Amino acid sequence: METQSDRILIVDDEESMREFLSIMLHREGYQVEAVQDGSQAIARLRDQTFDLVITDIQMQRVDGFGVLDHVLEVCPETVVIMMTAFSTTEQAVEAMKLGAYDYITKPFKNDEIKLIVKNALERKTLRRENQELKKELGQRYSFGHLIGKSKAMREVYDLVEKVASSKANVLLTGESGTGKEMVAKAVHYNSNRADQAFVAINCGAIPENLLESELFGHEKGSFTGATQRKEGLFEVADGGTLFLDEIGELPPIMQVKLLRVLQDQELRRVGGTKNVQVDVRLIAATNKNLEDEVAEGNFREDLYYRLNVIRIALPPLRRRREDIPLLIEHFFNKFLGDVPMTVADDAMLHLLDYHWPGNVRELENVIERCSVLGQKEQLSVNCLPEQVKRKTTGATGGMVELPETGFDLDEHLATIEKDILIRALDKNGGVRKKAAEYLNISFRSIRYRLSKFGLGDEEDEDSL
């Protein structure tokens, strides 16, 4: 039995038929309305949303085809079932070609129409869920779900927005755990290929002897165990996006074959004799320096230039420490849902200080651990892993290494200054005069520095 939310409109010029269907379907738990012709149905459909319309085909003034046309144009999510006499089933079949879900022939059995109605509404529900899922996927990988407000991440957002609508190949570079696959999905789901497949493969995770078959497919009998034809991932991704993670691990022979596909937009399955055309947008990712790999002869220069049409370099987490609180909140929501969770001040200092060699992925693992071990709905130092609790080079300890692409010195120094000011205030109970004395600067200076970061309060000269 369906829920009361399912609304059904019956359209028939026979009063006895309207009453019969209304009573029967009402007993099944549906909300039912009935009108006597197509013009009344169209007027009612303008005022009210229905999940299902059951309409006779042969009616005066506006017939069932007129009702169907109106539904398809104005409320296409509404399902339509046609009713017809046995002698006019050809018209019902034509209606299905135009967009009706099904038809029933008068006279009909009660169980028959109950089943058709049930299946029609289940189909509508499934269609709605699929649409919501697609919408959710689009939102999940929209720019808003690439977490971060730092300058480095804003630059990534700008690049994603610019390249998403193009067909250009994209090369994502950055350390492991920086979110390269998330960015690849953001590019895909904000492109005109969003309704097509997004297919991902880790080039370093598949044995070399199987990688060609995975990417390009194979014909039946092409090797031992090939009992049937198999489409490769390029064919699966046809019309969509193929994400090749860890492209730097691609064996030399596969580099040659990948280059040929990128040049010709066609492939040949293992054991095949015919070329297969494909339309694939390629996004590759690596944590290696491909320029060095090219110089050392490990990676083909011509393939590198094919892949590196648009390059997006993802910053390591240590270069965007101001995003750490946002990421922590995001991961708490992921693991705990609506359960509130706060971070103790001393724990936050450890999280900000830590060097995060595993980047965002490592932070996510730490927050998952603390979601389980945290007490009194608070992330405390006690639940942090030992490597995070140990004093490490961090925001106030300088940079371990300079990034290849350079960085904003003023932004980095400002981050360090703001962190020191906050720590000094915490150490001195939030009293600015004491914090100024602690830092050996004047009260006027600390007021200026705090206001520069939006931390000042001109009304209160004794505390933050």
CATH of the domain at 442: 1.10.10
| pLDDT at residue 456 is higher than 70 | no
More confident of the two residues 375 and 139 = 375
pTM of the model: 0.58
My answer on whether 342 and 201 are in the same domain is no
Could you say which of 111, 137, 163 is where a domain stops? 137
My answer on whether 375 and 437 are in the same domain is no
**Domain of 169?**
154-313
- Based on the structure, what is the number of domains in the chain? 4
pLDDT band at 460 (very low <50, low <70, confident <90, very high): very low
For residue 295, being part of any structural domain is answered with: yes
| pLDDT at residue 124, as a whole number | 81
Q: What is the pLDDT of residues 200-243, one digit of tens each?
A: 999 988 888 888 888 998 888 777 777 787 888 999 999 999 99
Could you say which of 256, 282, 313 is where a domain stops? 313
pLDDT band at 401 (very low <50, low <70, confident <90, very high): low
- What is the CATH classification number for the domain harbouring 203? 3.40.50.300
| pLDDT at residue 68, as a whole number | 92
| pLDDT at residue 435, as a whole number | 87
* Percent of the chain scoring above 90 in pLDDT: 38
My answer on whether 205 and 104 are in the same domain is no
| pLDDT at residue 76, as a whole number | 84
For residue 115, being part of any structural domain is answered with: yes
Cis peptide before 107 (omega within 30 of 0): yes
| pLDDT at residue 1, as a whole number | 39
My answer on whether 225 and 200 are in the same domain is yes
My answer on whether 174 and 280 are in the same domain is yes
| pLDDT at residue 125, as a whole number | 81
| pLDDT at residue 110 is higher than 70 | yes
Sign of torsion, CA 194 197 203 204? positive
My answer on whether 363 and 422 are in the same domain is no
